[in-house]
Structure 1
Amino acid sequence: MLTTRSSLALAVLLAAACGGETTKPAPAPEAAKPAAPAPADKPVEAAPAKPAEQPVLADSGLGVGGKFKPFEIVNCDSGEKYCQVCKFGGSPKIMAVGTIDDEAFKNDIKNLDALVQKYGEDKLKAFAVITDIKDGKATTPTGDRAALEAKVKALRTELGVTIPLVVPADEGGKNDAFDGWYNITKSRTVMFADGRNAVKYSGVAPADLSGLNTAIQEVLGVPGDAAAPKAG
């Protein structure tokens, strides 16, 4: 009969013979790591306000380096309301501004029409704006508009010109797009802009149109000549 001590020794021998090992407990699972906090949203910075564009001014009108801007007019021949600068699109264009009672301005209109005919209406555009000038500043005519438009229409027929004669549209007693931007202080102001509306010539009651003629030739890329009409 085996003693208790013998029984224990036999059990140890049997375990070793069978390659038995004491079972180790499974390691405890690692605790889940806390998720990294999402980065705080950065405040959206407002873009700095773009400064308002300022006109390049001459003594009267826009100076060289300025830019024609859209403004509404009334075509006194057709009665239509539209933007003449926009209608002429990418064509080089002359804008002349004066008062209805300025006799010398009427002669300017004829001379500018002759320039358009010289270079061709497909290459050069022009229009004349009839406005009031009060206290040294152009103001949109707001009196008897029907009478004024009829008078301007008759003037175009009298002069026999093809270029449009227009008046700034009355927009509630003013036309800020014209009065405020174009800086007209004198009758017989003449400006010429290229196809991008950049002003290349500016003058008031020029003694002749040679400077304007040269600017037109440079923009159109045509040879120079001495054929500019005389201002009268």
Structure 2
Amino acid sequence: MKRSILQLDPQTYQRHLIHGPDRIWAETNCYSDVWIELLHAMGHEPIASLPFTLVIDFEGDQWTFFKFPLIDLYDLYGLDIQELTIWNRLIDHVDEQVGFGRPVLVEMDSYYLPDTHGTAYHMAHVKSTIAVVEIDVENNHLGYFHNQGYYNLSGDDFINLFRLNQNDPVYLPPYVEFVKIWDRAKKNQELVNASVQILKKQLTFIPNKNPFESFSTRLAKDI
């Protein structure tokens, strides 16, 4: 049975302007990018939830790999994100949650994600987060958000992505979340006001020291 939440077509899907064709940066934060598109497709404005991006820091050996604060997603859009406990086959959990009308965010192997053609698809095993909003187990079909867009996959990629033909006793299940949707999304000026309050809160977390100075020191040391 085909289960679908948003009824999207990869051929006609319109990305959010953040991921527009004029962008000059590559996607390096799969979790944040997938949320931008998921929010956009659900009819929300993701820019309202981005104040957290202003307070990144150099963490000594890397830059902050930021993520959307889950409380902000609830306050702004009424989205309640919960961890999904994997006690059954992953595919069964995803199928059931999508059937409940809940998008599922799951770490998958980009080796089997055709949208990564030219970087990882059938070339390298790289972990990346996707958001599943459509699945048809009987026909090996998946509709998912990844990085800057919405895509479909099927056939052997579907089978291998969910490890349906593999029996590895030491396999560790991925981290998975599902999204419960409450009818509490803020709109228009109410959304703007809530975003401003989140911005004020986030600005209290600005690093005391210029992170580029810390990065410069570490870079000089490593070189």
- TM (norm. structure 2) is 0.26
| Largest Rg, 1 or 2 | 1
- Determine which structure has greater relative contact order: mean sequence separation of CA pairs < 8 Å that are 6+ residues apart, divided by chain length: 2
- TM (norm. structure 1) is 0.25
Query: Whose helix proportion is higher, 1 or 2?
Result: 2
